């Protein structure tokens, strides 16, 4: 998403926000400022990776999910507080319309609900720019305090989350990971959805050697499901290795990305992020007046490693 462009040069979360031109031209220079990355994914024409046979309300036991050889290194079933996460406070990037704040995050009955609301609120322009700004929507975003990496000690790492995507025009839920300064630690977009598209979502990745300058082109792919992603629970995953990113939906491989700059991300450190953006560049030419707020639900998030 890019700090999902969501990000860029900033003290701890970002790097420089990629503007539309930077996203379209990997050699162009992004403007100075914090980041939040997915701006880039918003302007890329994705390919169709596969049509997936999703399983409604898929909820496997861990041994079925990963098989032998995997060890769990992180888990949150949202039965308590959000102490394993950092809560984003402020606006974001990519011309998104929401103010992220803690009150839009709720844990109850073993679920995390991230709710977007149409309401006038004032808050920091971003967490890196305290200038007050008035927003027409509020929502929520969290990032793990812990960082994860496919590296020599853990050459295979698997991010998994059981999610129910929000309905509603203009809703932009995302499950992704990134590190700072963006995109020097890479970014992996496991799932980016649009509320008005209940049968599809998008995968992608980003990397650059200098803060704020993405080098990856045409990494975005669309996964089409034959089962609703908004009416049912599904498990979204990525297996990150030295040279391959393998994306799964409900235990089935739906997209594989290899080569390119993926080997350059090996050994980099990323944190997992969950958020629900409102509007923004990801929608291209859209009607802000037609936005319908919704709720993004998370059952659990787990991380596994294997040699």
R_g of the chain computed on alpha carbons: 17
Give the separation between CA 83 and CA 112, rounded to whole angstroms.
13
Confidence label for 10 from pLDDT (cuts 50, 70 and 90): very low
- At residue 136, the pLDDT reads 98
This prediction has a pTM of 0.88
Give the pLDDT of residue 65: 87
Q: For the chain, first and last CA: distance in Å? A: 28
User: Residue 209: is its pLDDT beyond 50?
Assistant: yes
* C-beta of residue 249 within 8 angstroms of C-beta of residue 225: yes
Query: Residue 8 above 50 pLDDT?
Result: no
Q: In order of start, what are the domains of the chain with their CATH numbers?
A: 20-306 (2.60.120.200)
Q: Are 236 and 190 in contact (CB under 8 A)?
A: yes
What's the pLDDT band for 12 if we cut at 50, 70, 90? very low
DSSP states of 226-270? SS-TTTS-EEEEEEE-SSEEEEEETTEEEEEEESTTGGGGTT--B
- What tens digit of pLDDT does each residue of 148-201 get? 999 999 999 999 999 999 999 999 999 999 999 999 999 999 999 999 999 999
ω into residue 183 within 30 of 0, thus cis? yes
Predicted confidence (pLDDT) at residue 22 exceeds the cutoff of 80: no
Name, in order, each residue with C-beta under 8 angstroms of 67's C-beta and a sequence gap of 6 or more. none
pLDDT at 185: 98
**In terms of Cα–Cα distance, which of 172, 178, 192 is closest to 14?**
178
Do 182 and 2 contact (CB within 8 A), yes or no?
Answer: yes
Backbone phi, psi, residue 283, to 5°: -95, -5
Residue-wise pLDDT tens digits, 39-96: 444 455 676 667 778 999 999 999 888 888 999 999 999 999 999 999 999 999 999 9
Return phi, psi of residue 24, to 5°.
Answer: -80, -25
């Amino acid at each position: 998403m890019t700090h999902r462009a969501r990000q860029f040069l900033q003290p701890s979360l970002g790097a420089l926000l990629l503007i539309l031109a930077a996203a379209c031209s990997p050699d162009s220079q992004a403007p100075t400022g914090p980041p939040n990355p997915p701006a880039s994914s918003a302007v890329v024409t994705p390919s169709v990776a596969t049509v997936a046979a999703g399983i409604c309300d898929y909820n496997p036991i861990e041994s079925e999910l990963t098989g032998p050889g995997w060890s769990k290194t992180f888990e949150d079933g949202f039965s308590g507080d959000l102490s394993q996460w950092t809560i984003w406070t402020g606006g974001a990037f990519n011309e998104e319309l929401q103010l992220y704040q803690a009150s839009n995050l709720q844990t109850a009955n073993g679920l995390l609900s991230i709710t977007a609301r149409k309401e006038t609120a004032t808050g920091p322009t971003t967490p890196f720019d305290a200038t007050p700004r008035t927003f027409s929507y509020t929502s929520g975003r969290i990032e793990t305090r812990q960082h994860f990496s496919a590296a020599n000690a853990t050459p295979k790492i698997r991010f998994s989350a059981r999610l129910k995507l929000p309905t509603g025009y203009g809703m932009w839920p995302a499950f992704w990971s990134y590190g700072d300064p963006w995109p020097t630690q890479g970014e992996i977009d496991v799932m980016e959805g649009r509320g008005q598209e209940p049968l599809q979502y998008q995968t992608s990745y980003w990397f650059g050697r200098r803060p704020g300058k993405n080098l990856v082109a045409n990494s975005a792919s669309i996964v089409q499901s034959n089962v609703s992603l908004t009416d049912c629970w599904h498990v979204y995953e990525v297996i990150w290795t030295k040279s391959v990113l393998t994306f799964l939906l409900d235990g089935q491989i739906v997209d594989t990305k290899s080569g390119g700059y993926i080997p350059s991300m090996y050994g980099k450190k990323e944190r997992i992020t969950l958020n629900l953006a409102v509007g923004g560049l990801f929608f291209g030419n859209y009607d802000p007046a037609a936005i319908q707020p919704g709720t993004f639900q998370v059952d659990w998030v787990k991380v596994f490693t294997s040699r």
